[in-house]
Chains A and B, each alone.
Chain A
Amino acid sequence: MQQSNAYIITFSVILTVVLGLLLSGTSELLKPIQKKAEELDTKKQILGAVLPAEQIAEMKPEEVNEYYASRISSKVVNINGEEVEEQDGVAVSAETVDVGKNYKKAPEDRLYPVFIFLDEGSEETALAYILPVYGSGLWDSIWGYVALKTDMDTIEGVTLSHAGETPGLGARITTTEVQQRYKDKSIYNEQGELVSVNMQKGEGKDYSEDPHKIDGMSGATITGDGVNNMLKNYLQHYQSYMEKIKEGGSKVAMN
C-alpha cells in the first residue's frame, strides 16, 4: 500500500516524539542511580591502585564507601603543588573534579586531585599517594590512578580504564595481569628526572632488571604508547606537589 507523503511525515514525527520522550524520561529517572554507581566505580578504581583486585571484588558497596571514607583523604592541588580550596567562588573537592574535563584545559589551569591512602586508624600517616592520570588510547580516552609510595618515586600500584579500546587487545589494560607489571617500578631516574615507566613493544620479555620498563601487550602497541604518554604527561604536572611531599618527609601536612 502506498501512503501519502503527509502521512509518512506525520507518522515519523509522532514516532520520533514518542521514542524521544521515552528515552529522555528513562534517562532522567535513572540518572541519580547511575551517578551513584559511577561514584562507587570511581572509588573502586582509586582503591584498586592500593588494594588487590580480589579484595575489592569481595567488598559490598557500603563496605567500599566505608573503607574509602576511613582510609582515603583527598585534596586538590594546582600545577604549582599548592592546595586549591575553591575555584571561581565554588568549593572544590577531589571527588568532584572531572579529570577528563580538566584534561581539555591548559596544564596551568587544570585542577589536580590527590588521594592520600592513610595508614589504618591514622589521620596523618600516609602509606601512598594516589594520582589520577588521563590521556588517549587508540580509539578513545583512557584514564587511571597511579599510587606512589611516600618516596614519590616507587609505584605501589595502578588501575587503568578505557572508554573503547579493542577487547582482548588494548582493553587488556584493565586486567590485573597487566596492571601488576607496574608494581615497584620507579618513575624517576638516578639523575632525578621524571622518566616515568614505559610499556615496551612486544610481549613475553623480562624487564624486572629495568625500573622504567615493563612488558608490553602483544597486538596493542598503540594503546601501550597511549598509556606511556598518559603517565608521563600527567605525572609531570604533579612534579611540584611531589617535590613538596619529598621535602616534607613522609608526614602529610593535613589541614
Chain B
Amino acid sequence: MSTETAEKAIKVKDTEAFLSKRRKKLITDPLVDDNPITIQVLGICSALAVTTQMQPTLVMALSVIFVVVMSNLTISLLRNKIPGRVRIIVQLAVVATLVTLVNEVLKAFAYDMYKELSVFVGLIITNCIVMGRLEAFALGNKPYDSILDGFGSALGYSWIILTVAFFRELWGSGAVFGVPVFDYVSRLFGEDFQLATNGLMVSPVGAFIILGLLIWVQRSKTGYVEH
C-alpha cells in the first residue's frame, strides 16, 4: 500500500468527538434502557450462579468486561476480513481464546478465586451477551465504537450482578465483601440480639427473587413493556 492512500484514509476519518453524544449513548444505553440482563434477559445463568458473594461476582464482572471489550475490538478490527460463512466459528474461537486467557491468569494470580469461579469463567463463552454484541455490533462498526459498545453492555451486566450479589450476601450471609455487617449491627442492640440470615438467599432461588424485584423496580420507573 502506498503512503498516499494511507494519508487519505486519515483525512477521510470522521471528526467526531472522542466522546460524542452518540458514543456516550453506546455506553449509557445498556446500563438501564437496554440492559442485557433486565431488558434483553441474557446472561441469566451466570447472574444466578456467581452472585452469592460480592467478591467472586466482582471478579466475574471484571472478566466479562475484559472479554466483551477485547472480543468486540478483535472482531471489529477483522470485520472486513472475516469470511461470512464461518463468522460464527471465528467469533467463537476469539471469545474462547480470551476466556481461556482470563482463566489462566486467574489460576496464576488468584487461585482461590479460580477454584471458586471454576466453570463459570469458562462459561463466559456461552454468555449470550458476548456473542450477541459481536453479531449485532462489532461486525458492522469501527473498532473504537465497538469498544464503547462492549464496555457499555458489560457494565450493564456488571452492575446488575453486583446489585444482586450485594443483597444476596447481605441477607444470606449477613456480610458485604466478607465484612460481617450483621454482626456489627447486632452488637449495637445488645449482647443477645442477633440479626437472622436467610438461607434462601444463598440458594439460586434467592437470585431469582432479587432479580425479579430489580426488573420490577426498573420497569415501573422506565415504563418499559414487553411486546
Question: Interface of A with B (CB < 8 Å)?
Answer: 1-3, 7-8, 11-12, 15-16, 19, 22-23, 26-27, 30, 33-34, 37-38, 40-41, 161, 164, 167-168
Nearest 5 CB-CB pairings of A with B? A37-B111, A33-B108, A30-B108, A8-B83, A3-B83
Interface of A is mostly: helix
Chain B, interface size category, equals: 20 to 34
Measured CB to CB, the nearest residue on chain A to B100 is A23
Shortest beta-carbon distance from B215 to chain A in Å: 23
The reply to whether B81 and A34 form a contact with Cβ atoms under 8 Å apart is no
Q: Which B104-120 residues sit within 8 Å CB-CB of chain A?
A: 104-105, 107-109, 111-112, 115, 118-119
A-chain residues with CB within 8 Å of residue B118 when the two chains form the complex? 164
Q: What are 28 pairs between A and B in contact, CB < 8 Å?
A: A1-B84, A2-B84, A3-B83, A3-B85, A7-B83, A8-B86, A11-B90, A12-B86, A15-B90, A19-B93, A19-B94, A22-B97, A22-B101, A27-B104, A30-B104, A30-B105, A30-B108, A33-B109, A34-B104, A34-B107, A34-B111, A37-B107, A37-B111, A38-B111, A41-B112, A41-B115, A164-B119, A168-B202
Measured CB to CB, the nearest residue on chain A to B82 is A11
B-chain residues with CB within 8 Å of residue A161 when the two chains form the complex? 115
The reply to whether B93 and A16 form a contact with Cβ atoms under 8 Å apart is yes
The reply to whether A168 and B203 form a contact with Cβ atoms under 8 Å apart is yes
Measured CB to CB, the nearest residue on chain B to A36 is B108
- Give the one of A23, A30, A33, A37 with max B CB within 10 A: A37
Given A16-B93, A22-B101, A41-B111, 14 more contacts at CB 8 Å? A1-B84, A3-B83, A3-B84, A7-B83, A8-B86, A19-B94, A19-B97, A22-B97, A23-B101, A34-B107, A34-B108, A37-B107, A37-B111, A168-B204
